[in-house]
Amino acid sequence: MMFSLARYAFSSLKIWRIQQIMARQSHIKQSPDFHDKYGNIVLASGTTFCVVAWVFLTTQMGIQWNPSPVGRVTPKEWNNH
């Protein structure tokens, strides 16, 4: 009795697992969508744009990148008034 019950539970578990696999495979896209076709191109062009923008910003805009004042700033004399 116990063996037949375990065998029934195991076979129903296998059937349930097969049904899960079949359901999962039926939800797979059959044709490529926009992201499949152009996703890598959009990602690469966005990355290229950001890199070019930062290279331009750091080399051509003339921004002072917080230079250190060490050696350029001298203290003033103290006034006792």
Q: What's this model's pTM, rounded to 2 decimal places?
A: 0.43
Least confident among 11-15, 26-30, 59-63, 73-77: 26-30
Decide which of 65 and 44 is more confident: 44
Q: What is the pLDDT of residue 43?
A: 95
Contact 46, 52 (CB under 8 A): no
65 alpha carbon, distance to own chain's centre: 29
DSSP-derived letter for residue 40 is H
Residue 18 phi/psi, 5-degree rounding, is -60, -40
Segment 3-56, tens digit of pLDDT: 676 666 667 767 777 777 777 666 666 777 888 889 999 999 999 999 999 999
Distance from C-alpha of 9 to C-alpha of 13, rounded to nearest angstrom: 6
Distance from C-alpha of 12 to C-alpha of 7, rounded to nearest angstrom: 9
Distance from C-alpha of 62 to C-alpha of 53, rounded to nearest angstrom: 14
Q: What is the pLDDT of residue 45?
A: 97
